A and B are shown apart, each in its own frame.
Chain A
Amino acid sequence: MALATVGLGAETKAKIPKVAGAGPRSNGVRQFAKALPFIGPSMVGVALFLVVPVIFVFVLSFMNWSGAGPFTWAGIQNWTSIFEFDNAAHSLGVTAYYVLLNIPLQTVLALGLAVMLNRKRRGMAFFRVLYVAPYLSTPVAMALIWFWVFQPQSGAADRFLGIFGITGPAWLESSLWAMPVVAAVNIWQYLGFNMLFFYAGLQGIPPSLYEAAQLDGASKWSQFWRISLPLLNPTMLFVLITDVIGSFQVFDTLYVLTSGGPGTSTQVMSIQIYNVGFQGTRYGEAAALSVLLFGVILIFSVGQFLFFKNRTTYEY
């Protein structure tokens, strides 16, 4: 933003009205009162819809509620129930499996595409725009289309394989393939978006670094590994953390494609929270599952942050 800085002389500064007030404390109250109309609404929103729920979910995990009727105290019963009856450990494992299927591949592909498009060739902008198109596309709508693609026999996937004489597996009904399909759909949806982050990061690296390395005889691959990658550490950190946190919460695509099935093979934590809470009407247990998920995500984000923090290099 190019803003013309207006130079004000001392005389004009003196004419700027000051906030009137007697002493420091009433000054503070006054200041707060003046600020209230501005920060008030968001304070109400944050308090009611963010702070209170975070506290309440902890409390609720020690209570019982069925969606109607009274709240009753449950002690730690919910915390044992979620492991004994609600497949908490299994769901965590399935979620971790999904993250493993989704993140490494998506990050590598996004980085690869960003490197490819980081050239001054014709059509680069077009491809960049094209790849990002799925980002805005309503995940539920896309999931419905992919659901059709992976329908046994009549869907595009099986028909395509059929051209080569291969009988496709039951895809979404196969406990082996269901999760990879879900991961693939998610990669398709967010690949372009992540690519843009890496692209922005690459664009921020001064070309002089590459030129110097070129003159030293470094190959393109070596340049990538020794220059681009280390300097992309902040971007990588950001992308990985947001993607992992996002993956732990995957819901829309999964709900439409498999709803946790077949059996419990794609029953990630978010689906279980939904199932236990809104189908099973055991809101206390669902709250406990939510807190458990929150804890896992926090551990992950902190761990990821620390890992990359020590490796970030900024000097160049």
Chain B
Amino acid sequence: MTSVAIPAPVKATTTPTSHLAQKAFNAGKLTVFYGVLTVVGLAFIVPYVFAVFGSLKPESSILTTPPWVPPMHPVWSNYPNAFLSDPQVATGFGRYMLNTAIVTVALTVGQVFFSMLGAYGFARLKFPGREGIFWVYLATLMVPNIVTIIPLYTEMHYFHLVNTYWGVFLPYALGTPYTIFLMRQFFKNIPQEVIDAARIDGAGDFGVLTRVVAPLSRPVLITAGLIAFVFSWNNFLWPLVIMGSQSHYLLTNGLANFNAGPGAAGYLNLEMVGAIITLVPMLVLFVVFNRYIVRSIQLTSGK
């Protein structure tokens, strides 16, 4: 460390020595700092703003007015129109949203429930082959999603589940290795004494799970539920592959399909409506469950 007797040498920097100038320099640095953050923040907000503006513009002005200009006379009817589209065939976004909701609820409930069961088994039950089987689960985490799309489709063809709701959520609804891995960590950390106390009360394995382990693991259960919900809502490739009929489309492939038809160049405003309809639930989730999302990221990185 520096010795105290010698006065501190003048720093060889360009920092101005006057107090006021120092303050101004710091203020300047601070402005730049917040300026950079704000510009970056703008880049993140701007697409949403464009989409909201665009969704309320009529077809005639969506291509002719700049996207950052708000609509002069908002066409609120774009929203109900996009929902209904063709009532007889019901291929509007209302239908897509219903399909997505059905699939997502089934997938989320199934994935969380069966993962919970599986994680409990791997964490707290003793049985032969436990480590081996769990290693197989972990090994499958190395397999990228795209690699299994083709064989999965072939399987679904064989089971006659192509173009059905079951076909969309079943591969993910019986518990997934990732969710089981997350939950198992939590379940392992529950002190044995708490479990023992429940057993004294006469609880069997399932009772211990429902009465003790699950309530104490509420954060990881919610996190797992969030992960599953978001995954299902945003899932595109698998629904694209497995759902052929328009009436079965989810929001994601309905949106992509919207951009594929003749004349779609003129429907951009309705496409923006579709995008907003799809995004709003996710943004709401993000705001409400922000803590859990951050936590899920920390869990994933193993911190």
Contacts and interface: CB of A to CB of B under 8 A. Distances in A.
A and B touch in the complex (CB under 8 A): yes
Contacts of B272: 144-145, 148
Q: Which 10 A-B pairs have the closest CB atoms?
A: A45-B174, A42-B175, A38-B121, A42-B118, A53-B151, A49-B171, A53-B148, A56-B151, A39-B121, A141-B275
Given A132-B293, A141-B255, A54 B148 contact: yes
Nearest to B148: A53
A43 interface: yes
Contacts of B125: 31, 34-35, 38
Contacts of B149: 273-274, 277, 290
B4 interface: no
B286 interface: yes
Given A249-B144, A286-B150, A140 B286 contact: no
B230 interface: yes
A250 B112 CA distance: 26
Interface in B144-165: 144-155, 157
Nearest to A289: B150
A278 B146 CA distance: 13
Interface in B236-256: 236-237, 240-241, 251-253, 255-256
A35 B272 CA distance: 49
A238 B302 CA distance: 9
B128 A28 contact: yes
A23 interface: no
Given A67-B157, A148-B272, A139 B236 contact: yes
Interface of B: 1, 33-34, 36-37, 40-41, 43-48, 50-51, 54, 63-64, 66-68, 114-115, 117-118, 120-122, 125-130, 133, 136-137, 140, 142-155, 157, 170-177, 180, 189-191, 193-194, 196-197, 199-200, 205-206, 209, 216, 219, 230, 233-234, 236-237, 240-241, 251-253, 255-256, 258-259, 268, 271-272, 274-276, 278-279, 282-283, 285-286, 290, 293-294, 297-298, 301-303
Interface stretch (A82-90, A97-105, A293-301, A306-314): A293-301
A29 B2 CA distance: 70
Nearest to B179: A42
Interface in A106-160: 113, 116-117, 121, 123, 127, 129-142, 144-149, 151, 154-156, 159
A53 to B, nearest CB: 4
A8 interface: yes
A5 B193 contact: yes
A16 B198 CA distance: 10
Contacts of B233: 138
Contacts of B176: 42, 45
A56 B290 contact: no
Contact of B230 (A116, A136, A145): A136
Nearest to A43: B133
A215 interface: yes
Given A8-B196, A159-B66, A200-B298, A45 B114 contact: yes
A39 B118 contact: yes
A113 B40 contact: yes
Contacts of B115: 42
Contacts of B157: 67
Contacts of B68: 156
A234 B303 CA distance: 10
A5 B191 contact: yes
Contacts of A215: 1
A262 interface: no
A162 B233 CA distance: 37
Contacts of B282: 136-138
A37 interface: yes
A60 B150 CA distance: 9
B140 A54 contact: yes
A273 B152 CA distance: 13
Given A149-B67, A249-B145, A46 B43 contact: no
A81 to B, nearest CB: 15
A51 interface: yes
A48 interface: yes
Nearest to A25: B128
A44 interface: yes
A149 B48 CA distance: 11
A16 B200 contact: yes
Contacts of A197: 297, 301
Contacts of B177: 42, 46, 50
Contacts of B190: 3
Given A148-B67, A193-B297, A116 B146 contact: no
